[in-house]
Amino acid sequence: MLAHLSMLKKYTVGVIGAGNMGEALIRGMLNSEQTVPVRIVASSRNAAKLRRLKTLYGIRTTNFNSAVVDICDIVLLAVKPQDMADVCTEIAPHLKREQLVISIAAGITLKKLHRILGAKAKLVRAMPNTPALIDYGVTAIFASPSVKENEMQLAEEIFGAVGISFRIAKEKDMDPITALSGTGPAYVYEIIDSLTCAGKKLGLNEQLAKELVMHTIIGAAKMVMQTGEDPKELWKKVASKRGTTVAAFDVLRKRNFSKILQDAVRAAANRSRELGRIK
C-alpha cells in the first residue's frame, strides 16, 4: 500500500511482546512509512530488549502492558500462545470498547480471546509467517463481527507492511492456513536442504548447489504467479519424454511424494485445531 494512502498514521499502535514477529511488524510499519515512530509503543518484560528497540527505531517503550492499552488505539498481541491468557487477563480491565485488538498467536481462537477480553471487544486474529521478517510475509486475517471495514483496513495496512495479506471469511480456515503458510516456510527449507544435499552428494560445491536450488525455487514460484498457468501444465513443459524430469518423478511418484506432503499438511492442520482446543 502506498504510504500517502496510509490511515495508520492517525492511530497509535501498541505491540505487546515485541519478539521476532512483533519487531518485524514494527520495522515493516516504519520502513513502509505506514506510520511514524512516535505512533508506536512496544512492551516486553525485558528492559534490554526495550532499550534496543527504542534506540533502533525511535519508538516509545514500556514494561507495563497495561500502559500500552491505556495509550494506544490498536493493540497488537504478539506474545507466544502460552502467554496469551495471562497477558489478556492483565490488559482486560484497561481495554476500552473502541480499541482494536489484533492477535497473531497461533491456535488462539477469537472465542477464547472474547472470553477474557469481553464479548464486545473488537478483535482481529491474524496468522503471519516468518518471511515477514524480510517483508515477504503472507498473513491471513479474520475479524470478529464487531470489527468495522475501516478497522479491518487498518489491520491490512499493518500486515501489508511486511508482505501480502488475505482476508478470510471463516475462522476455521485458520487451521489449514496455519498448516500451509504459517508452517509453510519449514517445508521449503526442508526441500532446499534436501536438494542441496543431493547436489553435494553428486559432487557439487555446497554453496553453488544451495544457490542453484534457491534461485530455482524463486523462479518456479514466479513462473506460476506470472504465467497464471496450472503448475501441472508447467510441469509438463519441464518434463520431456524419457528425459531427466521423468526419471526423477519415477522415484517421487513411486514413493508417493505428493501424498506425503498432503499428509504432512493435514497433520499440521490437525495439530493447530488441537492447540485451539487446549484451555
Ligand X SMILES: NC(=O)c1ccc[n+]([C@@H]2O[C@H](COP(=O)([O-])OP(=O)(O)OC[C@H]3O[C@@H](n4cnc5c(N)ncnc54)[C@H](OP(=O)(O)O)[C@@H]3O)[C@@H](O)[C@H]2O)c1
Which positions touch ligand X (CB under 6 A)?
A: 16-22, 43-46, 49, 65, 78-81, 83, 86-87, 104-106, 127-130, 182
- What are the residues facing 14 on neighbouring strands? 41, 75
Report the residue number, 189 or 235, with the smaller CB distance to ligand X: 189
- Strands 163-167 and 137-143 turn out to be parallel
Q: In what order do the strands lie in the sheet with 13-16?
A: 60-62, 40-43, 13-16, 74-77, 100-103, 122-127, 137-143, 163-167
* Least Å from the CB of residue 4 to ligand X: 29
Q: Which residue is nearest to ligand X (CB)?
A: 19
Report the residue number, 117 or 127, with the smaller CB distance to ligand X: 127
* Least Å from the CB of residue 139 to ligand X: 8
- What are the residues facing 13 on neighbouring strands? 40, 74
Report the residue number, 12 or 103, with the smaller CB distance to ligand X: 103
Q: Is the dihedral of CA 256, 257, 258, 261 positive or negative?
A: positive
Q: Can you read off the three cell numbers belonging to residue 83?
A: 502467554
* Least Å from the CB of residue 60 to ligand X: 15
* Least Å from the CB of residue 61 to ligand X: 11
Report the residue number, 79 or 141, with the smaller CB distance to ligand X: 79
Q: Given 3-state DSSP classes, what are the helix, strand and coil percentages for the chain, each rounded to the nearest 5?
A: 60, 15, 25
Report the residue number, 86 or 206, with the smaller CB distance to ligand X: 86
- Helix, strand, or coil (residue 96): coil
Report the residue number, 193 or 250, with the smaller CB distance to ligand X: 193
* Least Å from the CB of residue 265 to ligand X: 16
Q: Can you read off the three cell numbers belonging to residue 59?
A: 519508538
Say if residues 196 and 135 touch (Cβ distance below 8 Å). no
* Least Å from the CB of residue 260 to ligand X: 22
